[in-house]
Amino acid sequence: LNRIKASGLKLRFCTNETQATREKFVKKLQGMGFDISVAEVTAPAPAACRILKERSLRPHLLVHDDLVPEFAEIDKANPNCVVIGDAAENFTYANMNEAFRVLIGMEKPVLISLGRGRYYKETDGLKLDVGAYMKALEYACDVQAEVVGKPAEMFFQSALAEMGVPPQQAIMIGDDIENDVGGAQRCGMRALQVRTGKYR
Amino acid sequence: LNRIKASGLKLRFCTNETQATREKFVKKLQGMGFDISVAEVTAPAPAACRILKERSLRPHLLVHDDLVPEFAEIDKANPNCVVIGDAAENFTYANMNEAFRVLIGMEKPVLISLGRGRYYKETDGLKLDVGAYMKALEYACDVQAEVVGKPAEMFFQSALAEMGVPPQQAIMIGDDIENDVGGAQRCGMRALQVRTGKYR
């Protein structure tokens, strides 16, 4: 990372992290010694907030407690859509039923998903990611979620625009063959899969 | 029900009920005044047990506590498949992760689902049914579940065989357009949808 920054190459961190605000996420990485700032991070929650504002959507949130502050400025009264993120311990039976009831009660259900990952690895083992729970709600309500975050093309395009770099001159580095590599390639970027993290 | 029985027509109760043993389910209906016995009930759990025995499968169970006795005679040590039913309160984040880990750890994941309903209605509101959680595991493990119960054709065929009646001479009555009506029609039966229960 330091060598990339020293070389003058432009750099952006594209994360599907939705278990924490960008501030908290960046602080954690800084604490591990990484040279990173909030302004360098492209993340699903702020992208979703832009969409909610543009379309006058008021979300019912099924997200991690630590992500809620990202939606502080969003009107959440009388919801007309559901936003689902990697809610982790908040993926309870009661919370899933509640999100389902909000969706099924709409004339035309709107489901926005912060990523569509299948699973990820933590120190105590593999965990189901938001994509699995998104599929559950999609099936129950016969609706297709709008995915914000990797591997959505729009997400990579935002990151490229923020750097002012065309896709042909950019390379994506990640450990997920679909979210990182597949999404970037469909945008015209090159991509490199690292065999760390959840690689199996 | 009494008029059907008095008329001499053959009758069978086809249920996707997986929140209780057949014994408990029948007792509840008897308590409500219905003339019904365990021998008249076709249900997913005993159908799944037949499959498990035939194929030497040892299940990891993600089912309702009250259904567990139906699997009493099944070897569950060192599981080589996952059986999912409408686990209700047992659909916790931890239990979903555990079932996922068992599946993803197999060379060729085997997922058996006791029904594939989207949702059902209880006195306190709509609830996600087993189908939603089945989809979550299917997506996470890139596997297709084998569905036991309505609307699987084999399930209706079992019920017909138990009565000794050809499909053309049978009619299915239920409140679910897909599980009851669709499944029966694909078997060559006629079907009638009642506008009670979860009908919306």
Question: Quick one: pLDDT at residue A22?
Answer: 93
| Residue A99 predicted with pLDDT over 90 | yes
Report whether the peptide linkage leading into residue A59 is cis, meaning its omega lies within 30 degrees of zero: no
CA distance A60 to chain B (A): 17
pTM of the model: 0.85
Q: Do A97 and B125 touch (CB under 8 A)?
A: yes
Q: Which tops the pLDDT comparison, B46 or B64?
A: B64
Contact A126, B104 (CB under 8 A): yes
Domain containing B121 equals 44-147
Domain count, chain B: 1
| Residue A17 predicted with pLDDT over 90 | no
Q: Which tops the pLDDT comparison, B172 or B157?
A: B172
Structure tokens of B75?
């070897």
Question: Quick one: pLDDT at residue B50?
Answer: 86
- The count of other CB atoms within 10 Å of the CB of residue B96 is 26
Residue A67 lies in a domain: yes
- Three-state SS sequence of chain B: CHHHHHHCCCCCEECCCCCCCHHHHHHHHHHCCCCCCHHHEECHHHHHHHHHHHCCCCEEEECCHHHHHHHCCCCCCCCCEEEECCCHHHCCHHHHHHHHHHHHCCCCCCEEEECCCCEEEECCEEEECHHHHHHHHHHHHCCCCEEECCCCHHHHHHHHHHHCCCHHHCEEEECCHHHHHHHHHHCCCEEEECCCCCCC
| Residue B198 predicted with pLDDT over 80 | no
What's the complex ipTM?
0.85
Instruction: Please report the residues numbered 70 through 99 in chain B whose beta carbons come closer than 8 angstroms to any beta carbon of chain A.
Output: 88-93, 96-97
Residue A165 lies in a domain: no
CA distance A25 to chain B (A): 23
Q: How far apart are the first and last CA of chain A?
A: 24
Tell me the pLDDT tens digit for each residue of B15-43: 988 889 999 999 999 999 999 999 999 99
Number of residue pairs across A and B with CB atoms under 8 Å? 81
Residue B142 lies in a domain: yes
Residue B190 lies in a domain: no
Instruction: Please give the average per-residue pLDDT across B154-163, as a whole number.
Output: 89
Helix, strand, coil percent values for chain B (each to nearest 5): 45, 20, 40
How high is the mean pLDDT of chain A?
94
Instruction: Please report the residues numbered 103 through 142 in chain A whose beta carbons come closer than 8 angstroms to any beta carbon of chain B.
Output: 104, 118-119, 125-129, 131-133, 135-142
Q: How confident is the model at residue A162 (pLDDT cuts 50, 70, 90)?
A: confident
Distance between CA B36 and CA B24 in Å, rounded?
A: 12
Q: Cα–Cα distances in Å, from A121 out to A19, A37, B97?
A: 14, 25, 11
Q: How confident is the model at residue A50 (pLDDT cuts 50, 70, 90)?
A: confident
DSSP 8-state assignment for residue A199:
-
Read off the CATH number of the domain in which A101 is found.
Answer: 3.40.50.1000
Q: A142: left (phi > 0), else alpha (psi -120 to 50), else beta? A: left
Residue B116 lies in a domain: yes
Instruction: Please give the average per-residue pLDDT across A7-13, as a whole number.
Output: 94
Rg (alpha carbons) of chain A, rounded to whole number: 17
Tell me the pLDDT tens digit for each residue of B74-118: 999 999 999 999 999 999 999 999 999 999 999 999 999 999 989
The stretches of A2-127 forming alpha helices (DSSP H) are 2-7, 22-31, 44-54, 93-104
- Chain B residue numbers with beta carbons less than 8 Å from the beta carbon of A115 are none
Segment holding A113, helix H or strand E: strand A111-114
Question: Quick one: pLDDT at residue A16?
Answer: 87
Q: A44-54 vs A153-163: helix axis angle to the nearest 10?
A: 100
Residue B154 lies in a domain: no
Residue A5 lies in a domain: no
Tell me the pLDDT tens digit for each residue of A63-72: 999 999 999 9
- Is residue B153 classed exposed, middle or buried when 0-12, 13-18 and 19+ CB atoms within 10 A define those classes? middle
| Residue A200 predicted with pLDDT over 80 | no
Instruction: Please give the average per-residue pLDDT across A33-48, as a whole number.
Output: 93
Residue B186 lies in a domain: no
Question: Quick one: pLDDT at residue B1?
Answer: 86
Question: Quick one: pLDDT at residue B196?
Answer: 84
